[in-house]
């Protein structure tokens, strides 16, 4: 993906300017709904909560805002009514593991509704809906009672503002972003990291049959239950996964393997970076001939600790001649975090969690920063989002480019894969059709 050069104005951009007439926002409608997954109290799980089936845990929560260790995710939908009667939508959502590693605590939907229908409506109704960037950036800084509004609210509102701009300008959200940031959209869909739950091997098989570009992004939350005190459970899983790809996949199928460890290697090996490096290198050998990405092998107590440990493990992998790449998620919550990790020299791959970043504009800026600095960015988010926020993310990906996207919402794999693939292919088909028609 390249930035548009001077003198290379595409036809659709000229059309965007021609159709970008004023369209006012006349009303805001809100509703409280459900997300695609759940919230999990990770500190409680790591403190030894007893599993109660494949999802739940017995015990008391420890993270503020939780009433149970696992509880249903909730959302707030924002609908912006435009003066021609069309309605633009966005969903406020947040990640599964809220309230840790610098993340904001769980939001209360009813409180978000009060803010949306009060000060936000007062500031937004009557405004021109045709320009996305300036409005989204303004509301990303919006404060109520001297405090910046919750990232989930900034995320949902920016989705609605992007949808409103696309509706008022009679173009796709992909083209709105490309126009306002001077980008050339991708001409093919992005690779997708497809989720497959650790114990659901039928789900693994479906993703292999569908030739998922990257898999399985399954969560390994517990040393005791998922990884093993010496990593033996993880080794068994990897061995079975690689074998299954060979058994089920077509001969030319060469996916990238991506596992998310949620800090469990740091716990299992007491943050001994030499031992962690050796174990990760061993996983890379097990994954051969497939490329391996390892997300969050450690989660530091602070961002600086994260930097120190990642730097040491990366140096260890290099010394061992391993080509495994480490992906940072926790402590890379904001654009400033991403810039700090890059400045420290430890950011080669990053999982961009769209709800953590707040406004969609911050995700766009993060992707642009990563591309400019040679950082492989996974345009992710959370299983705890919605179909609507996933479709908006697909447009961001097409406009900005990324190393890959991750499936969302939910952890079913198939559903998130379908939503992202279909939204990207529909959008690309619309853009191609318009270009063939000369406008």
Q: How far apart are CA 197 and CA 149, in angstroms?
A: 33
DSSP run (H or E) holding 75: strand 70-82
Q: Which of 58, 122, 210, 353 is catalytic?
A: 353
Judge whether 39 and 54 are in contact, CB under 8 Å: no
Token pair for residue 103?
């993340």
Q: Are 292 and 324 in contact (CB under 8 A)?
A: yes
DSSP alpha helix (H) spans, 142-259 = 151-169, 173-181, 201-209, 232-248
Whether 162 and 140 have beta carbons less than 8 Å apart is answered as no
d(CA 192, CA 417): 7
Q: What is the 3-state secondary structure (H, E, C) of 309-332?
A: HHHHHHHHHHHCCCCCEEEECCCC
Q: d(Cα 338, Cα 306) in Å, to the nearest integer?
A: 12
Which of 149, 138, 130, 32 has its CA nearest to residue 79?
32
Rounded Cα distance, 335 and 344, in Å: 14
- β-bridge partners, 428: none
Please confirm, yes or no, whether 24 is among the known catalytic residues: no
Distance CA 355, CA 94 (A): 5
Type and span of the H or E element at 265:
helix 264-268
Query: Which residue, 159, 92, 156, 155, is CA-closest to 132?
Result: 159
d(CA 263, CA 204) in angstroms, rounded, equals 23
| Residues with catalytic roles | 353
């Amino acid at each position: 993906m390249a930035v548009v050069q001077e003198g290379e104005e595409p036809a659709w951009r000229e059309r965007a300017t021609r159709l970008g007439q004023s369209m006012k926002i006349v009303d805001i409608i809100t509703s409280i709904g459900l997300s695609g997954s759940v919230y999990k109290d990770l500190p409680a799980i790591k403190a030894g909560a007893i599993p109660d089936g494949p999802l739940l845990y017995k015990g008391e929560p420890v993270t503020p805002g939780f009433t149970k260790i696992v509880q249903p995710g909730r959302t707030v939908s924002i609908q912006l009514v435009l003066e021609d009667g069309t309605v633009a939508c966005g969903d406020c959502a947040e990640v599964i593991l809220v309230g840790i590693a610098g993340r904001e605590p769980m939001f209360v939907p009813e409180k978000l509704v009060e803010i949306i229908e009060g000060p936000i409506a007062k500031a937004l109704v009557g405004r021109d809906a045709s320009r996305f960037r300036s409005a989204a950036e303004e509301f990303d800084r919006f404060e109520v009672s001297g405090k910046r509004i919750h990232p989930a609210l900034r995320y949902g509102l920016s989705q609605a503002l992007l949808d409103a701009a696309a509706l008022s300008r009679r173009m796709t959200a992909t083209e709105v972003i490309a126009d306002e940031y001077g980008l050339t959209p991708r001409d093919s869909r992005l690779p997708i990291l497809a989720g497959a739950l650790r114990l659901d091997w039928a789900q693994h098989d479906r993703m292999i049959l569908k030739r998922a570009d990257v898999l399985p992004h399954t969560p390994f939350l517990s040393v005791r239950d998922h990884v093993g005190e010496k990593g033996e459970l993880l080794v068994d899983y990897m061995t079975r996964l690689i074998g299954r790809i060979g058994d089920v996949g077509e001969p030319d199928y060469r996916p990238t393997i991506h596992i998310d460890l949620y800090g469990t290697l740091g716990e299992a090996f007491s943050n001994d970076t030499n031992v962690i490096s050796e174990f990760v290198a061993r996983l890379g050998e097990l994954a051969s001939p497939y490329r391996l990405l390892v997300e969050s092998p450690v989660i530091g107590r602070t961002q600086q600790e994260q930097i120190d440990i990642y730097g040491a493990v990366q140096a260890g992998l290099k010394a061992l001649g391993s080509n495994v790449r480490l992906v940072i998620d926790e402590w890379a919550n904001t654009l400033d975090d991403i810039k700090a990790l890059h400045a420290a020299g430890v950011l080669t791959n990053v999982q961009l969690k769209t709800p953590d970043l707040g406004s969609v504009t911050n995700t766009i800026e993060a992707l642009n920063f990563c591309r400019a600095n040679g950082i492989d960015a996974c345009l992710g988010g959370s299983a705890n989002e919605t179909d609507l926020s996933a479709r908006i993310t697909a447009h961001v990906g097409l406009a900005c480019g990324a190393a890959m996207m991750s499936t969302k919402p939910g952890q079913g794999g198939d559903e998130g894969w379908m939503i992202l693939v279909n939204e990207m292919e529909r959008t690309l088909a619309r853009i191609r059709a318009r270009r063939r028609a000369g406008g």
